[in-house]
Structure 1
């Protein structure tokens, strides 16, 4: 199996979109960058997963334009199967149901198909760096947080049960989640806290276990709902929550 780390440090991308003209436009935009490489593309979400497994890109751009909700299923499969591959879903218009589905599927970003080339490039860079752009979307629409959390809870009923109250996260873990909520990737958090990236990964594993969270976005949403991270103003790293 190929590795996304074997492409000379480039950000590797795979596109899944039914519109050939749109794919061509994105490909032309990305080809102008020396630090980005398009590994492949597909017009059918159902056929894309095997190709994505073979190429292991860092970022997958997925069309979720109705009726292409199979893109949500693809997002979930990619996130659950390929730990180092991030997904950015793309849609022509803002749809709250799509935001909820994309978030619970594990997408890192919810992007408009009408964003500028520079905005797309910057979004790909941020997603590849491990940033959760969807958190910004949720913060802009706080009423969606409860919907997202309710969906996560429903999904949790199918898996193991855990009680976050009996397994509270530590102040350090709360601080790390505050960075995640602000869009920081593991490497950026490690630099800000002057600790190793592996330590951040270890903390994230502990956070997900304690909260019975399916991914980073789920953990951030739970922290917001629990009041550990404010939904009206960003939690300032270095300020510890009360025990």
Structure 2
């Protein structure tokens, strides 16, 4: 199996070095890093990383804007957005709009980060776990999808559109239902 090429984009040199050092022992990862002011789009285009770990709050511009540019220029590149503090609903909603596959605190352990990278490479969206524990965000996402449908906008413009089943689950989450209840109603496993 080819190594997973991971690019760490963060304003803090020590943080970038720390992430690379912490993940260095992972034999399936090939790591590189870049400051957000050093033409990260050019680096993404020339090195074609599989996964980009992106700081939400780089200096001089929004990490969300940079995430959108990366998604536009390199649609096969998967984004994992990193927040310097605790996750919050407003940030999570913006991360979803960017099309990121995952949203993590910078305090995440190296082992958890490595697992999320592998999940993302396997086509999973760990960000769904974040949405599942935040009914307010689930409700906002559902409202936005409904507004787009009513306005006649095409759903394909979103990086990772939701299936009918995912929309059902999201609707139940927005109502504040538990995973167990949703699983029973939809006749699926609780882990699904």
Q: TM-score, normalised by structure 2?
A: 0.78
Aligned to 2:28: 35
Measured in 2, the distance between the counterparts of 1:117 and 1:70 equals 25
Change (3 A) 1:223 1:80: farther
Aligned to 2:162: 219
Structure 1 residue ranges (4+ consecutive) displaced by more than 6 angstroms after TM superposition: 153-158
Q: Cα distance, 1:108 vs. partner?
A: 0.5
Measured in 2, the distance between the counterparts of 1:229 and 1:81 equals 32
Measured in 2, the distance between the counterparts of 1:126 and 1:212 equals 23
Aligned to 2:81: 89
Task: Note the 1:8-47 alignment, pairs <5 A.
Answer: 9-38=2-31, 40-44=32-36, 47=39
Q: Paired residues, what number? A: 179
Change (3 A) 1:115 1:155: same
- What secondary structure is seen at the aligned counterpart in 2 of 1:97? helix
| Deviation digits for residues 98-147 of structure 1 (CA, Å, limit 9, x no counterpart) | 10100011000000101111111111111121210111100111111122
Consecutive unaligned residues in structure 1, runs of 5 or more = 1-7, 163-210, 239-243
Q: Cα distance, 1:42 vs. partner?
A: 1.5
- What secondary structure is seen at the aligned counterpart in 2 of 1:126? helix
1:128 equivalenced with 2:128 (yes/no): no
Aligned to 1:108: 101
Change (3 A) 1:77 1:114: same
Task: Note the 1:64-213 alignment, pairs <5 A.
Answer: 64-65=56-57, 70-92=62-84, 93-151=86-144, 161-162=153-154, 211-212=155-156
Change (3 A) 1:226 1:126: closer
Match of 2:51 among 59, 62, 77: 59
Q: TM-score, normalised by structure 1?
A: 0.63
RMSD: 3.0
